[in-house]
Homo-oligomer: A and B are copies of this chain.
Amino acid sequence: MTVGGDTVTEVVRLSWKDVRDRVHGRVLDGTYAPGDRLPRDEDLAEEFGCARSTVQRAMQDLSLSGIVERRRKGGTRVRRDPVTRATLDIPITRNEVENRGAVYGYRLIGLTTEAVPPPVTAKFEMAGSEEMLRVRALHLADGHPFVFEDRWVSLRTVPEILEIDLAAQSANEWLVRNKPYTRCDLRFYAMNADAETAAILETGEGAALMVIERTTWIGLDPITSVKAVTAPGYEILTRS
């Protein structure tokens, strides 16, 4: 170490983010190529002059980001197929409307008990069919249609739903606030508005609409499956 000289060798304390970025840099510049096995955490720790747990923290992050894959005994490898990984937040529809500075509105359209049709049993991955509560409702923003939801709620898993006044409170809101889930499948696609949907959303037949389908379970028991058809112009953004 030379103070006032040219090179100053300093004992730098590396944070786990530093380690992550340096390892990531090596993946990007080809030092570690796709499919390659990286050194063991312990060796990296020695190289970087930090504790193994610091390397572990860094590698955990790279693993979560989809950069590397880790296995006990198998070691750490650079993923062969790079992916863009993003996190999506889907809020309660009321909050989504209010966050846009609009006034939230809600209208119950239909409430029936029906046997679940095959397309929905498939989403739940159920063997046979059963009776479920079907809730059809419209969410509004400043009085304009915003999202139309067609929802099935399992009466076996969530019998309490029958005691909720679904004309006053949306099933969306009640379920998200009261029924935790352990599994959630999401599906996004575009569809042309059919006559009925167009009428409900006050748009033209054939308009391109974004659809969000969400199915949740608690353990293996189905909770709800909802097809939310959004009004034209709806966008999904990933959080920064």
By a beta-carbon cutoff of 8 Å, the part of chain A in contact with chain B is: 24, 28, 66, 81-92, 95, 176-177, 180, 183-192, 206-210, 214, 232-238, 240
Contact = CB atoms under 8 A, between A and B. Distances in A.
A214 to B, nearest CB: 7
Contact of A83 (B91, B192, B208): B91
A237 B186 contact: yes
Contacts of A240: 183, 185
Contacts of A192: 192, 206-208
A92 B82 CA distance: 7
Contact of A86 (B82, B87, B95): B87
Contact of A209 (B28, B190, B236): B190
Nearest to A88: B86
A185 B236 CA distance: 11
